[in-house]
């Protein structure tokens, strides 16, 4: 950087002071002279102060409209730069894999934070000599797009064939994707934004001639064969899971969204804290002569010769599930009380948990405890209820260790058709081996005709048939319980409840036949692979691991037309599913040749494997599609195909998304990658996993249309209709905000935050402008200019250079650790304290008044040159437009065309021995400087 040597001269009087003395500027200047002629008072230009001074001069404006100062550099620093660096094949590669945003609607602040953080990382790696592989993607399948397409056409999916629905949805996704792409470009994201340089999870339209009244007039799909390859790779990953026996079809309860008419995975749920339910206490009558021996003995002792009925009292927050009751859970280790209510002497005997008596006082009223017995004495007792016909086997009290004494009545209503835990417990107990699961609820969340057959009194069933279980059906059920005399009590409860994250409406648990991926068999390998992953912030590791550890299966089937099909065949008579590695070996090549849409439009005969043909059985094609998390979760296969097997453990260097993706894309990528890998060679697809929080308003509230607090990133960049209220700040300010926040947790944005970021940007811009002006936009160091040697540097010069070295080292480490707020804080502190408040202030006399070739002035110019050329690359990943503007200004007078500043790379500042030896002097100087 600067030649070696030792300090060989004292500091000039204008640039130094005794340690401990005030640090001030000189009050006079030797090169100032009178500005008027003594005889006639006329101005003599040759004798004015200005003519005798070397005043700063630059074409770099103090401020300009964002469109003026950023737009000229947009292409150079984004698409052109990406294309240039992609051609540097000799560079080591850095892969940041883009988690695909959903192709639906305009971009919001979460999109901005996410894409900008990724771009900062990529730009720093480029400056450090890497070749960046970054392919922006879009998640294009799923019900929201399908619903949007049908809504725009005013049609229902029942009236349009699946091929037409897919055509419409594809065009809607492409339209919104193009809108988002143009908006992403305005963030200054370095990428190849061409169709070939991006990816989509959907394939091309294989039937462009299909048209009816619903599709007529829509534009032709622009999807490419590359997109088709994505779907085929996904099916090959699916086939690998099938080969390992990880995919199976089972009839069991799943999260079901009546509003979406589809099964949902855990990652598609949003838990609402203040959902209101109407819990009930209901009594189920014990069957005479079918009591467990211990219970029968005690009842005989307390009846006193009466034939009192005996009731088991349960509590549930979902009274609509009572028709599906198949057992009552009891904890064998808890004690249970037999009691008689004072106000209901003819009611008979009630049984509840002994530890729940105090909590149930308001529900039960006054009562007399008749006896206490252990839960084990209740096990095996038969009972009946309103929806149990005498012709069916009686449900039984079943031991279940998960029953707790802290809630309800200590007796648990078990409906395996509507509860995953109920299903697991009764399956483990063998009670479902010979019994069909009861679930009289349809896709719309309404009671089916089966409710009539289940009811002891058909009139009750008729009252419920066709009603929505989450609304009028639930209310009707409570009324029936009350009229039938089995309602012991009721209430209101606000609690956490799962909602469909897309429709924002409550879901239910409902038994259906679905396809599942067995997570139990692969989560051990998945968790082990996470040991080699570095989490940012580290606290997110436990969150990710807990989600994987607690998951036993993944429901991967969806009842939608718009998605990648699960290519299973079914026996038309028995409903037996045909899905094997062999059947997929036959089916996937057909879809590779003719497109995935062919599954929905081609004859079933084309898909029947040779081994199943002419066997006298009739087959039909399945209509389920794959969960969109499986779509995006297999995107790592794109990297594997493009780059091949890399000479390292993980395919990608970085995955970066919001904290909700620990349940979503982070997890689905991990499970599909480890599940499809060779046993013993399971590796997570990412090396570094970076998580950012959500963007809130300046009051810490979630942004929503109803609250009117939504801030659009495009409004920040371009301004709103009222420019006084919503000024145009430009992309660099938006990027500065993204870099300055502690993104590992939820962050805020609002007018005050933006004003603070604008002030920081103004200071940084003024700092580089001062240096450009005194360097005459670079002219001052061209020609025969001789840089100062270290012997010619004053203590204040070396002080600044030492701080510059520290700044470069600090920012390099901070960028490497993805700690961008530390970069901004260090830059701001250096620009404000070291430069503006100190160095610029004490060197102005030297810069303006000393002769151009004076050693002190050359020393200052040398320092300014070093500072500017080190500072701008540090700024560049965060403020690329400003960096390109400075670079353009410095090279506008040269004959060589100005390339992007990123082509020059990072400017390393090596800490030299000589500057280290002056550390004590500079520290002494620093201790006497008051800012």
pLDDT band at 758 (very low <50, low <70, confident <90, very high): very high
Mean pLDDT of 45-53: 66
pLDDT band at 263 (very low <50, low <70, confident <90, very high): confident
Q: What is the pLDDT of residue 143?
A: 83
Residue 316 CA: distances (Å) to CA of 214, 313, 320, 361, 410:
46, 10, 9, 17, 11
Q: What is the pLDDT of residue 645?
A: 60
pLDDT(527) > 60: yes
pLDDT band at 507 (very low <50, low <70, confident <90, very high): very high
pLDDT(875) > 70: yes
Q: What is the pLDDT of residue 894?
A: 57
Backbone angles phi, psi at 715, to 5 degrees: -70, -40
Mean pLDDT of 808-819: 97
pLDDT(859) > 90: yes
pLDDT(239) > 60: yes
Least confident of 114-128, 205-219, 646-660, 856-870: 205-219
Q: What is the pLDDT of residue 151?
A: 84
User: Which carries the bigger pLDDT value, residue 51 or residue 538?
Assistant: 538
Least confident of 155-164, 460-469, 488-497, 907-916: 907-916
Least confident of 10-19, 197-206, 462-471, 626-635: 10-19
Number of Cβ within 10 Å of residue 230's Cβ equals 25
pLDDT band at 48 (very low <50, low <70, confident <90, very high): low
Q: What is the pLDDT of residue 819?
A: 97
pLDDT(367) > 80: yes
Backbone angles phi, psi at 661, to 5 degrees: -80, 0
pLDDT(272) > 60: yes
Least confident of 340-354, 481-495, 696-710: 696-710
Mean pLDDT of 365-371: 94
Rounded to the nearest integer, the mean pLDDT of the chain is: 87
Mean pLDDT of 538-566: 92
pLDDT(8) > 60: no
Measured between alpha carbons, how far is 312 from 487 in angstroms, rounded to an integer? Answer: 12
- Segment 67-104, tens digit of pLDDT: 788 999 999 999 999 999 999 999 999 999 999 999 98
Mean pLDDT of 732-759: 95
pLDDT(523) > 50: yes
Residue 155 in contact with residue 550, Cβ under 8 Å?
A: no
Q: Strand pairing of 310-316 and 625-626?
A: unpaired
Look up the pTM and report it: 0.84
Q: String of b and e for 665-695 (b: at least 16 CB within 10 Å)?
A: bbbbbbbbbbbbbeeeebbbbbbbbbbbbeb
Beta-ladder partners of 368: 340
Q: What is the pLDDT of residue 216?
A: 47
Least confident of 165-174, 601-610, 702-711, 912-921: 912-921
Q: What is the pLDDT of residue 282?
A: 97
Question: Where would I find the H helices in 616-741?
Answer: 628-633, 636-643, 665-676, 713-718, 731-740
Transcribe 481-502 into DSSP letters: HHHTT-EEEE--EEEEEEEETT
Q: What is the pLDDT of residue 80?
A: 95
pLDDT band at 5 (very low <50, low <70, confident <90, very high): very low
pLDDT(413) > 90: yes
Measured between alpha carbons, how far is 142 from 257 in angstroms, rounded to an integer? Answer: 13
pLDDT(498) > 70: yes
Measured between alpha carbons, how far is 262 from 811 in angstroms, rounded to an integer? Answer: 49
User: Which carries the bigger pLDDT value, residue 118 or residue 930?
Assistant: 118
Q: What is the pLDDT of residue 858?
A: 93
Contacts of 892 (CB under 8 A, 6+ apart): 59, 777, 898
Measured between alpha carbons, how far is 354 from 879 in angstroms, rounded to an integer? Answer: 67
- Segment 278-291, tens digit of pLDDT: 999 999 999 888 99
- Segment 423-478, tens digit of pLDDT: 989 988 888 888 889 999 999 999 999 999 999 999 999 999 999 999 999 999 99
Task: Look up residue 396 and give its two tokens.
Answer: 């039984």
Q: What is the pLDDT of residue 742?
A: 96
pLDDT band at 150 (very low <50, low <70, confident <90, very high): confident
pLDDT(37) > 60: no
Q: What is the pLDDT of residue 299?
A: 92
Number of Cβ within 10 Å of residue 648's Cβ equals 12
Helix count (H) and strand count (E) of the chain?
30, 30
pLDDT band at 393 (very low <50, low <70, confident <90, very high): confident
Q: What is the pLDDT of residue 185?
A: 96
Is the bond into 537 cis (omega within 30 degrees of 0)? yes
Residue 790 CA: distances (Å) to CA of 423, 842, 869:
79, 19, 18
- Segment 603-658, tens digit of pLDDT: 999 999 999 998 889 999 999 999 999 999 999 999 988 887 655 567 899 999 99
Measured between alpha carbons, how far is 769 from 63 in angstroms, rounded to an integer? Answer: 10
- Segment 745-754, tens digit of pLDDT: 999 999 999 9
| Residue among 636, 593, 629, 644 at smallest CA distance from 232 | 593
Q: What is the pLDDT of residue 40?
A: 46
Transcribe 780-821 into DSSP letters: GGSTT--PPPGGG--HHHHHHHHHHHHHHHHHHHHHHTT-HH
Q: What is the pLDDT of residue 210?
A: 44
Q: What percent of the chain has pLDDT over 90?
A: 68
């Amino acid at each position: 950087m600067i030649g070696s040597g030792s300090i060989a001269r004292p500091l000039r009087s204008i640039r130094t002071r005794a340690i401990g003395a005030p640090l001030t500027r000189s009050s006079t200047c030797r090169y100032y002279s009178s500005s008027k002629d003594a005889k006639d008072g006329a101005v003599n230009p040759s004798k004015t102060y200005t003519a005798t001074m070397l005043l700063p001069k630059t074409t770099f404006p103090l401020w300009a409209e964002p469109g003026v100062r950023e737009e000229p550099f947009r292409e150079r620093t984004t698409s052109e730069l990406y294309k240039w660096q992609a051609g540097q094949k000799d560079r080591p590669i850095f892969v940041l894999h883009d988690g695909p945003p959903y192709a639906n609607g305009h971009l919001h602040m979460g999109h901005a934070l996410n894409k900008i953080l990724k771009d900062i990382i990529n730009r720093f790696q480029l400056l450090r000599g890497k070749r960046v592989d970054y392919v922006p993607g879009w998640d294009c399948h799923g019900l929201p797009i399908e619903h949007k397409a049908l809504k725009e056409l005013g049609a229902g999916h029942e009236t349009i064939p699946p091929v037409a629905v897919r055509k419409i949805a594809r065009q809607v996704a492409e339209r919104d994707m193009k809108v988002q792409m143009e908006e992403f470009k305005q963030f200054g994201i370095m990428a190849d934004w061409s169709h070939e340089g991006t990816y989509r999870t959907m394939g091309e339209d294989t039937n462009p001639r299909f048209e009816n009244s619903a599709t007529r007039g829509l534009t032709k799909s622009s999807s490419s064969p590359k997109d088709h390859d994505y779907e085929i790779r996904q099916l090959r990953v699916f086939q690998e899971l099938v080969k390992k026996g990880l995919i199976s079809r089972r009839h069991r309860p799943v999260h079901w969204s009546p509003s979406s008419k589809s099964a949902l995975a855990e990652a598609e749920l949003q838990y609402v804290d203040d959902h209101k339910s109407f819990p009930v206490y209901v009594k189920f009558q014990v069957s005479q002569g079918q009591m467990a021996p211990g219970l029968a003995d005690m009842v005989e002792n307390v009846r006193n010769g009466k034939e009192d009925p005996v009731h088991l009292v349960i509590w549930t927050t979902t009274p609509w599930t009572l028709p599906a009751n198949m057992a009552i859970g009891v904890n064998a280790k808890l004690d249970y009380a037999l009691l008689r209510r004072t106000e209901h002497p003819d009611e008979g005997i009630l049984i509840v948990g002994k530890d729940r008596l105090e909590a149930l006082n308001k529900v039960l009223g006054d009562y007399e405890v008749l006896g206490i017995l252990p839960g084990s004495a209740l096990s095996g007792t038969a009972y009946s209820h309103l929806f149990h016909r005498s012709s069916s086997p009686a449900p039984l009290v079943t031991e279940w260790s998960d029953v707790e004494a802290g809630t309800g009545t200590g007796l648990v209503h078990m409906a395996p058709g509507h509860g995953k835990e109920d299903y697991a417990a009764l399956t483990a107990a063998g009670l479902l081996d010979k019994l069909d699961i009861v679930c009289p609820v349809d896709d719309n969340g309404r009671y089916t005709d089966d409710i009539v057959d289940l009811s002891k009194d058909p009139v009750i069933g008729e009252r419920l048939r066709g009603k929505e279980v989450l609304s009028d059906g639930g209310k009707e059920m409570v009324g029936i319980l009350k009229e039938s005399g089995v309602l012991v009590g009721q209430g209101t409860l606000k609690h956490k409840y799962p909602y469909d994250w897309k429709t924002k409406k409550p879901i239910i648990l409902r038994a259906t036949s679905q396809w599942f991926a067995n997570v139990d068999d692969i989560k051990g390998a998945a968790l082990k692979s996470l040991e080699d992953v570095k989490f940012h912030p580290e606290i997110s590791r436990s969150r990710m691991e807990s989600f994987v550890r607690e998951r036993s299966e993944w429901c991967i089937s969806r009842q939608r037309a718009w998605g990648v099909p699960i290519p299973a065949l079914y026996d038309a008579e028995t409903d037996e599913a045909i899905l094997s590695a062999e059947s997929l070996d036959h089916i996937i090549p057909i879809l590779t040749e003719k497109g995935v849409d062919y599954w929905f439009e081609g004859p079933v005969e084309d898909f029947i494997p040779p081994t199943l043909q002419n066997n006298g059985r009739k087959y039909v094609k399945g209509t389920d599609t794959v969960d969109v998390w499986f779509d995006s979760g297999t995107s790592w296969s794109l990297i594997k195909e493009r780059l091949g097997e890399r000479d390292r453990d993980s395919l990608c260097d970085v995955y970066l998304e919001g904290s909700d993706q620990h349940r979503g894309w982070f997890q689905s990528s991990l499970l599909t990658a480890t599940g499809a890998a060779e046993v013993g060679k399971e590796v997570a697809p990412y090396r570094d996993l970076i998580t950012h929080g959500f963007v809130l308003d300046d009051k810490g509230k979630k942004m929503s249309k109803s609250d009117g607090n939504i801030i659009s990133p495009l409004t920040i960049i371009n301004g709103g209709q009222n420019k006084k209220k919503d000024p145009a700040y430009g992309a660099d300010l938006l990027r500065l905000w993204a870099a300055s926040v502690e993104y590992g947790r939820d962050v805020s944005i609002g007018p005050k935050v933006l004003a603070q970021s604008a002030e920081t940007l103004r200071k940084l811009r003024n700092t580089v402008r001062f240096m450009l002006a005194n360097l005459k936009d670079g002219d001052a160091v061209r020609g025969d200019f001789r840089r100062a040697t270290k012997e010619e540097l004053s203590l204040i010069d070396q002080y600044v250079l030492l701080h510059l070295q520290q700044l470069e080292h600090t920012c390099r480490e901070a960028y490497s650790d993805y700690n961008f707020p530390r970069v901004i804080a260090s830059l701001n502190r250096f620009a404000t304290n070291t430069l503006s408040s100190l160095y610029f202030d004490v060197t102005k006399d030297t810069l303006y008044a000393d002769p151009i070739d004076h050693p002190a002035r050359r020393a200052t110019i040398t320092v300014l040159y070093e500072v500017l050329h080190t500072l701008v690359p540090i700024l560049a990943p965060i403020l690329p437009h400003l960096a390109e503007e400075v670079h353009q200004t410095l090279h506008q007078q040269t004959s060589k065309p100005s390339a992007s500043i990123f082509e020059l790379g990072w400017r390393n500042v090596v800490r030299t021995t000589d500057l280290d030896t002056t550390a004590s002097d500079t520290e002494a100087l620093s201790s006497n400087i008051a800012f």
